[in-house]
Structures are given as structure tokens and as C-alpha cells.
Copies of this chain bind each other. A is one copy, B any other.
Amino acid sequence: MDLKVNGFAMAGGDDIQSYTKNSSYQRAVMDAAKLLVQNSIADHINDPPLATFRVADLGCSVGPNTFIAVDNILDSVKLKYRRKTDKIPEFQVYFNDHILNDFNTLFKSLPPNRDYYSSAVPGSFYTRLFPRGSLHVIHSSTSLHWLSQVPIEITDPNSPAYNKGRIHYAGAGPEVVDAYARQHATDFSRFLQARAEELVAGGLLMLYIPARPNGVPHSDEPFVTMNDRMGTCLMDLAKKGVIDENKVDTFNLPEYFATPDEFEEIIKSNGRFVIERMEKLPTANASYNPVSAADVSRGVRAVMAGLVGGHFGHEILDDVFSLFEQKQIEANDHKPGSELNLFILLKLNQDIAAAM
């Protein structure tokens, strides 16, 4: 699978195993951000453009969360403009995700009473996706922890960063963790570069990113713990002979959970944006109440089925995720609020913009 070209996608369609039906965690992140979005737009958005106000949601998946995110943004923009003028611009919304995303399902679930013109843009957000200076607000939720690719070193048996017997970096040596961190820094910087070109002057970049609190060891970070747990399920199946152990060695998750300090350093060294806000989404995890370990397992499956099934074959997914559900019950370590979802609000650096 060449992630650089095609990426991967959340489970499509709208059946019981779809992302559509199993993304209440991601929805809670969205809900938690609502007030922050409203305040950010009230404080930082400019006067209405003459013609169209354009918004993009990057890593939109198949809905319905993306429609809620877009409504939050447009409601906030309209609220701000109505205080100043009767002339509300027309809105155009671009839904972006990888080419493999199920855009057919996205389109079928578009809110019928929306008051914006909608379109879909396929491709990796680590590349340019939109014309220069064409967007007013760019948003991305629970997407930027996905890397553009697995760091090459960790799949090379001759590299000190070779990640044998694991699918992520919990418990791995520093070479593995460093390879992931470097990939993340490169990717996030490319992301900022592309977005800086696409935004209008005064445009906003609004990001919600699953992250790791400063000072917390990788292996104690709850998102990483979950990935490690899925890795042990795959190793168990390899030991039982259901899958080939070699296949586990060559499978790694293209995910990295960076700290606020790391984000700050990348943004400063990239130089295209200034940080207007960076803070923890306060209630994201408290408002997410999965009924059971089965719910958690279905949520993880909706996200991971494409990657895991693509590598090992989709026929093993039932085995993997029933094992995952068991281990989830045994571990009984879900602590609401322990994860960090970071809200980052960035504005184009006017010094740079002026020098262009």
C-alpha cells in the first residue's frame, strides 16, 4: 500500500461497522470545540469578503461529524457578520479526504437544508489541494495525527529503527520513536506550508489534534496504549498461526501523537503562521461515554479496518477485533479525560505574507 499516493480511509458506507455509525468519540471532540470555534471566529475573522466565503474541512471522512464541524464554523461566521452588516456572503464548503475515502456516502448524507455550496476535494492534505489564496477558514479534526507514510527506517530489517514484533512505538527503542517524530515534523511542516499558500490574507487555520501531554511518556499516552493493545492482538494471532508473524513485523501504524511543545517548535521553525490559541479541548473526553468495550472496539475498527484489512486481509478483522474487545475488558483502563485533544488556532504570519 503506497500511503503517499492513496492513503487510506475510514470504513465507508453506513452499516453497523461503518465510521458513520462508529465515530461518537470524534463527535465528542467536535462538540467540545464548539465554543472555542465561536470565540476564535469572533476574535479573528475579518470583514466579509466581497463574493464567496470558502471553508475547507481536511480529513472529513464520510460524515456526519464533518457536517457538524462545518455548521459550527458557518454559524459562528454568520453570527459575527450579522452584528456588522446585512450583507452575508455566499458560502462554499470543500470536504477533503484521501482519494480512497467513500465520497459517495458523504454526498448521500449531505444535510438537505444546508445553506452552502458543497464540493469534495480528493487527495492528501500533505500536498497542495486548493488554488492560492482561495480559502477563509481551513479546519481539520482528529486527522493530523495520521502521518503521510510509515517512516521508512522502521520497516527496514537492516536499520537500527526496525520495529520488530510491534505495530507502533509503545515500548520501542528511541530510534523507532525518533523516526516517527521526524516523520511527523516533516509532515506537519509540509501541511503548514501548503495551507499558508491556500489561505487568503487574514485566513484562519483551526485544528483539533489528538496529542500527548508534555512530559507524559509515550507508553502512558492512552492513544498509544490502544495501538499497542491492537499490536498484541495481531501478535497473538500470529502465534496461533492465523496470520504470518513476518506480516506483523512489516505492519506499522502511520500515526504519531506529538506534544504541545513539539507542535510549537514545528510551527515556529516553519514560520508561516503565528499561534493564536493552543489549549486542551476541555470536555471532549468527559462527554464521550461508550456504553461498553464493544463500542470502543467498534470505534477502533471503523478507523483501522482499512489499514489492518488492507495488510492482513479483511477476513481476519472479526478475529482481531473480538480479541481486542476481550483485552479491552480485561485491561479496564479507560479513564475518561486522560487523552489530550489539542485545539490549535493559527493565523498567517503577516510579516511573511507581506514579504511574499
Q: Which A residues fall within an 8 A CB radius of B?
A: 51-52, 90-92, 94, 99-100, 102-104, 107-108, 110, 117-122, 128-134
Q: Please tell me which one of the listed residues B90, B102, B118 contacts residue A132 in the complex, with CB atoms under 8 A apart.
A: B90
Distance to closest chain B CB from A220 (angstroms): 40
Inside 8 A of A122's CB, which chain B residues have their CB?
Answer: 107, 110, 118, 120
- B130 close to A117 (CB less than 8 A): yes
Inside 8 A of A91's CB, which chain B residues have their CB?
Answer: 131
Q: Please tell me which one of the listed residues B52, B90, B102, B117 contacts residue A121 in the complex, with CB atoms under 8 A apart.
A: B117
Docked complex Cα distance between A210 and B340 (Å)? 58
- B99 close to A132 (CB less than 8 A): no
Inside 8 A of A103's CB, which chain B residues have their CB?
Answer: 103-104, 107, 120
Distance to closest chain B CB from A168 (angstroms): 29
Q: Please tell me which one of the listed residues B119, B120, B129, B131 contacts residue A51 in the complex, with CB atoms under 8 A apart.
A: B131
- B131 close to A52 (CB less than 8 A): yes
Between A91, A100, A110, A134, the greatest number of chain B beta carbons within 10 A of the residue's beta carbon is seen for A134
- A120 close to B117 (CB less than 8 A): no
- A92 close to B131 (CB less than 8 A): yes
Distance to closest chain B CB from A136 (angstroms): 12
- A129 close to B108 (CB less than 8 A): no
Inside 8 A of A130's CB, which chain B residues have their CB?
Answer: 92, 117
- B110 close to A131 (CB less than 8 A): no
Inside 8 A of A99's CB, which chain B residues have their CB?
Answer: 107-108, 110
Q: List 25 A-B contacts (CB under 8 A).
A: A51-B132, A51-B134, A52-B131, A52-B134, A90-B131, A90-B132, A91-B131, A92-B130, A92-B131, A92-B134, A94-B119, A99-B108, A100-B108, A103-B103, A103-B107, A103-B120, A107-B120, A110-B122, A117-B121, A117-B129, A119-B119, A119-B121, A120-B120, A120-B121, A120-B122
Inside 8 A of A100's CB, which chain B residues have their CB?
Answer: 108
Docked complex Cα distance between A90 and B51 (Å)? 19
Closest residue of B by beta carbon distance from A98: B107
Docked complex Cα distance between A104 and B94 (Å)? 16
State whether A119 and B117 are in contact (beta carbons under 8 Å apart), knowing that A52-B131, A131-B90, A131-B92 are contacts in the complex. Answer: no
Distance to closest chain B CB from A158 (angstroms): 32
Docked complex Cα distance between A318 and B133 (Å)? 51
- B117 close to A131 (CB less than 8 A): yes
Distance to closest chain B CB from A126 (angstroms): 15
State whether A133 and B94 are in contact (beta carbons under 8 Å apart), knowing that A99-B108, A122-B110 are contacts in the complex. Answer: no
Docked complex Cα distance between A100 and B104 (Å)? 7
